[in-house]
Amino acid sequence: MKTGLLHRFVAALAFAGALAVPVQAARADNLESSFDRALGKEMRAPRPATVAAPVPVQAWSGASASRSYGSGLEAEIAALANSSAGRIGVAALDLASGRSVAVLGDQPFPMASTSKIAIVATFLQGVDQGRFSLTSHFPLMMPVPSAKYSSAVAPVRPGAMMSAIDLIDRAIIHSDNHATDALLAAVGGPGAVNQWARNTAGLSGFRLDRDIATLVRDDGQYNPARTIDPRDSATPMTMVQLLTGVYQGRWLSRSSNAVLLSAMERCVTGKRRLRALLPSDAQVLHKTGTLSNTSSDVGIIKTPDGRSIAVAIYVTGQGGKAGRDARIANIARAIYDGYQVESSSFRRTASR
């Protein structure tokens, strides 16, 4: 193994050891049950439009039913996630307390590059099964120019050969589409990722239809602010379940899980999103997503007192990218502050 690869692999193992204390496997099932009890299968107001087969997309009317929120935090998140200027989906789970909040948590949103977490997880399962190794080499998948919607799959050609660990880093840290499609081709395409999501992770609100080259080429076919396109989508609640399972090490070996989490910790995109308004001592492990009229950021926020919060925020419309980024940043800060207040209140009560 080359020196650089060995260094990163050792660093990933050290990262796994650092996670061993806050992440307790015995708590995993309880937290998942708590999330399911809190959010269940009900849609949070405003109620979403229904996506029904065989219609591929559904117009979003923006109609909402009035709702009484159970806490100030829920009401604040709902106000910040107002969908009058474009749909906004939010879900968050405090892994310490099981406290969850959601707005349009069960409605599909374009995953864009947030799907790369599941793609990399699927590849790493192959590593655990002995199908690949982190030093296996695969070609970058380079797009060949083609007209929008001219084919079901956009044409690509093999590019430079790269090691799997380099492809993973490029896909998660830099959101490299060519590297992601290399990993996607290696595992067998979108169907293999869907199979992992359903059969291994138990995610029902996750759907990957296209490789990244096709997704990017055909971007803009529908306006996600007013239209629900079920292709290449996930619900915020499902993404939080994915983040929680990855963080708690439910599906991958300790070393493979550490590779993914270490890359998410080093993500350099989205500086104006999840982490923009958080305190400097808060740690963020995340992955961003961007397509036409939609921006997103999903990840784990680690607080200075040792707690972890899984957060998924999907924003459409809002007048442009700057507006979408600002929404994500403000919602993330509200979630962070709300959970901090609740945690402080719980500690004061417990000490009496």
Q: CATH number, domain at 27? A: 3.40.710.10
- Quote the tokens at residue 275: 């982490």
In angstroms, the Cα distances linking 196 to 91, 118, 125, 126, 156 are: 22, 8, 9, 10, 24
CA torsion sign, 185 to 187 to 188 to 194? negative
Tell me the pLDDT of the chain (352 aa) as tens digits: 455 655 565 455 555 555 544 444 334 344 344 444 333 333 333 333 333 333 466 666 664 434 555 568 888 899 999 888 999 999 999 999 898 999 999 999 999 999 999 999 999 999 999 999 999 999 999 999 999 999 999 999 999 999 999 999 999 999 999 999 999 999 999 999 999 999 999 999 999 999 999 999 999 999 999 999 999 999 999 999 999 999 999 999 999 999 999 999 999 999 999 999 999 999 999 999 999 999 999 999 999 989 999 999 999 999 999 999 999 999 999 999 998 876 554 443 333 4
CA torsion sign, 125 to 128 to 129 to 135? positive
pTM of model > 0.85: no
Asked whether the bond before 145 is cis by omega within 30 degrees of 0, the reply is no
Count up the domains in the chain and report the number.
1
Three-state SS at 113 = helix
- Of the candidates 268, 276, 258, which has an alpha carbon nearest to the alpha carbon of residue 334? 276
- Of the candidates 116, 50, 103, 111, which has an alpha carbon nearest to the alpha carbon of residue 75? 103
DSSP state letters, 4-73: HHHHHHHHHHHHHHHHTTT--HHHHHHHHHHHHHHHTTPPPSSPPPP--TT-S-EE----------SSHH
Burial profile 262-287: b = 16 or more Cβ within 10 angstroms, e = fewer: bbbbebebbebbbbbbbeeebebbbb
Question: What is the domain range of residue 280?
Answer: 3-351
In angstroms, the Cα distances linking 279 to 28, 73, 276, 283, 338 are: 27, 19, 9, 9, 14
